[in-house]
Structure 1
Amino acid sequence: MDSLFKSGAPRYEDPATSSRVYAINRSGFRRLLDEAAVGDTIRIADAARLFRSTKDVIQIREVLQRRGMHLRIATGAWSGFDLAADDPQTKLFVTMLAGVLEFQRDMISENTKEGVAAAEAAGKTLGRPAALDEDKAADVVDAYAKGAAVKVLARQ
């Protein structure tokens, strides 16, 4: 959804985007790149929202450099730097932080998997609770088998 910040700059979003999709392939980021001009500065609130891996950081950096654009992150260790700058110190800094960011995302994923496994081992039911109890679900299946329309069943 496009809306304007107080500065008048457009805002681009990729809601509910999978962490497996590189930024360069996400619709909001592609639209941003299509609309941006040479010399523009892209401002991101949080690096973890844009970058998914070291490869992602390097890929975005290369694209922005080719297009003569700048990239600034508002918060954290990344703030204050033009991450698309073409000097050896920035390249080293970006490469090291990209590795740390990828490690952080991997640790979050590993901790999540361990938490799910522990909950399952403890017999906890995961996910959204069932909308119907077993008897009502059986009634719906039976009605569908007898030809009831899906819309009608959904309304019920």
Structure 2
Amino acid sequence: MIVGYARTSTLEQEAGLDAQVRDLNALGCTKLFQEQVSSVATRPALEAALDFVREGDTLVVTKLDRLARSVVHLGKIVETLEAKGVALRIENLGVDTSTPTGKLMLNVLAGVAQFEREMMLERQREGIAAAKSAGRYTGRKPTARAKGDEIAALAAQGLSMAKIAAQLGIGVGSVHRALKPKTAVEA
């Protein structure tokens, strides 16, 4: 069986998820697992896919970065798949671990991908540090804290945290934090 896994990091990336699902269907995937969650968060659909696959199956992803966040993480996924007798295919790289050459290429490409990610993060940190020293970087504008009075007023009207969040366009966790009593340390 050919099993597909699709992922985007955020809910706003609907078109990216749709494109992956379309491509995986075109590749003959008979079972699809998909989710919209950061690669560093818990990924229940990936866990379900890894649990679902059986000996002789192939797990297919459109791109390597949709599957693993690091070489170590990729290694754990590949180890899990190999223990179950499942091959991994990464479509945009033409890598298929059912062959010795495919296994070699996967390791080489994973190392290069992790190197590039680390370099990108280093450049990002350097850019932020330079912007901060020039006084041009203040970070993201706090949206929920700025709406603290509105949150309190809506809560006083008896609205649930979910309804307050939906009405103000913020997360339920932000509403919860805004309504949480301040401790002596926080105040």
TM-score, structure 1 normalization: 0.67
Asked if 1:151 corresponds to 2:160, the answer is no
Q: What are the equivalent positions in structure 2 for 1:80-99 lying under 5 Å apart?
A: 81-83=95-97, 85=98, 87=100, 89-99=101-111
1:115 match:
127
Note the residue ranges of structure 2 that are not aligned, 5 or more in a row: 1-5, 7-20, 158-163, 169-187
Cα distance in 2 between the residues matched to 1:115 and 1:122:
11
User: Tell me, what secondary structure is at the counterpart of 1:68?
Assistant: coil
TM-score, structure 2 normalization: 0.57
Note the residue ranges of structure 1 that are not aligned, 5 or more in a row: none
Structure with the higher fraction of residues in strand conformation: 2
Q: 1:12 to 1:60 in 2, by over 3 A?
A: same
User: Tell me, what secondary structure is at the counterpart of 2:34?
Assistant: coil
Deviations 1:47-73 (A, max 9, x none): 022122221222221211111111111
1:74 match:
91
Cα distance in 2 between the residues matched to 1:14 and 1:115:
31
Of structures 1 and 2, the larger Rg is shown by: 1
Q: 1:10 to 1:123 in 2, by over 3 A?
A: farther
Q: CA deviation at 1:16?
A: 2.7
After superposing the two structures, state which structure 1 stretch, 109-118 or 8-17, moved more: 8-17
User: Tell me, what secondary structure is at the counterpart of 1:71?
Assistant: strand
Aligned residue identity for 1:41: T
After superposing the two structures, state which structure 1 stretch, 115-124 or 35-44, moved more: 115-124
1:17 match:
38
1:46 to 53, 56, 63: 63
Q: CA deviation at 1:106?
A: 0.5
Cα distance in 2 between the residues matched to 1:9 and 1:128:
44
Aligned residue identity for 1:121: S
After superposing the two structures, state which structure 1 stretch, 122-131 or 64-73, moved more: 122-131
Contact 2:37/2:43 (CA < 8 Å) preserved in 1?
Answer: no
1:56 match:
73
Query: Identical aligned pairs, as a percentage?
Result: 31
Cα distance in 1 between the residues matched to 2:122 and 2:38:
19
Cα distance in 2 between the residues matched to 1:34 and 1:149:
46
Q: CA deviation at 1:96?
A: 1.9
- Equivalent residue pairs, number: 137
Q: 1:9 to 1:111 in 2, by over 3 A?
A: farther
Cα distance in 2 between the residues matched to 1:72 and 1:47:
9
1:100 match:
112
1:128 match:
141
Cα distance in 2 between the residues matched to 1:117 and 1:100:
26
Q: CA deviation at 1:17?
A: 1.8
